[in-house]
Structure 1
Amino acid sequence: MTDENGWDMSASAWVIAQGENGDFTRQFVLDPVIDAWLAGRSFASALDVGCGEGRFCRRLKARHGIVAVTGIDPTEPLLATARAKDPAGDYRLASAENLPFEDHRFDLTVSYLTLIDIPDIERAIAEMARVTAPGGTLLIANLNPFITASGGTAWVKDDSGAKRFVKVDRYLQEHSDWQAWRGIRILNHHRPLSRYMTLLLAAGLRLTRFDEPPAIGGPTEARAAYNRVPYAHVMEWTKA
């Protein structure tokens, strides 16, 4: 087994960190706005690109009533957890750069904090657009590039450990950095926002919604720190 990006070795720690409801950013920042965007809408089929342990696939079915949900991920240990938690689910070993589906297969395609994990982003975005049906939706949650540019050391702290400000460096230079927290150590890829936007537009997609939501719950200290420097955004793209 190769582990060039750290995910195989980090899978167990990741599952523990996510729990049933996801980490702070998922629970208190991204899930609320995504739930609001999807509320009352009907999708025949959905694909979660980089589904990990399957949390969001289960949420799409349980909360949004999407019966046919497929999750793909290149990390077998995470898929094993997804299948154990959702035995009737459809979880497949695959990469975003080579999606094993025919054209126009899904009317909802999701990339939930996975773009930063994908080495060949140009091919991956083209693939996500390819498998999305005409008139369908590509829903993306991603980290703001001013955070990924810093290589995981964005906050500058004083001698007492208090957070003073966030630094930004090498923003326009694409680069990769190892991130480590809570027993997890994975390789993330930084790209400026313009790189993502250019590729999405070139894939024939139209931006229909964009938000940088605040944290609306969670521990007071974590919420305050997030809202000082919001580091995630959500985009909805429609395929022409």
Structure 2
Amino acid sequence: MVVGSGIAGLAAAQALADHFELVVVLERDEEPVDGQARQGVPQGRHPHLLLCGGMSALSTLFPGLDQDLRTAGAVPLDVGRDLQLEFPQLGALPRRELGLATFSMTRPLLEQALRRRILLRGNVEIRYGTRVIGILTSSDGRVAGVHHQEQQGRYGTISADLVVDASGRAAPTLDWLQANGMAVRQTTVRVDIGYATAVFAAASVPAAGFIGAATLADAPKSSRSGYVLQVEDGSWQVLLVGRGDDRP
């Protein structure tokens, strides 16, 4: 049983499928329409750059993922050559061919590619519109499955030999630990950063000389920074960032 169908949940399901008769992924969101961000991913509409280590790890878990991404329209990217990083007082850093390859794409496209790949397996299923409201405990204190609620309002339970909490907020796990007398100390780090993203369609690829660019803030005088990233379908994501009251 995997709680959540984000990147972590899909990766966990793929890893577990080699070792279990059946892997069930429970997702509280409705089944997503290709290309649209899920409600349960608050930052899903902002730029997401898949770092080279993440690309390598996902390609190991999902053989053929790189070809899937190319077919879906993701933009191949060499980190040293195709990213322009601009720092206050320094300007743009030199770019070099580093041979570190990944892709530029929207978050929904990456999730879509992983979902399609994992559903090719015969022993993995994703149940949408199903919210996990608690973790079951056996008589000897072990995790034994989950309580869930479907969007129609029906409640139910599902037994499982293993439960992976990939919900992103760990609420089921924290509730279960507290219910079983195990207090968890939590620390909150206030970040207070505001984001604003817009997507622009280009009639042709601009002669920008980069696939992604970042202009970083001149701290502490200013918190404002900006990013631009070419993604699928010839579109560009433009992101503005500010801290505290400086909201873009």
TM-score (norm 1): 0.29
Larger of the two Rg values belongs to structure:
2
TM-score normalized with structure 2 length: 0.28
Highest relative contact order (Cα 8 Å, sep 6+), 1 or 2?
A: 2
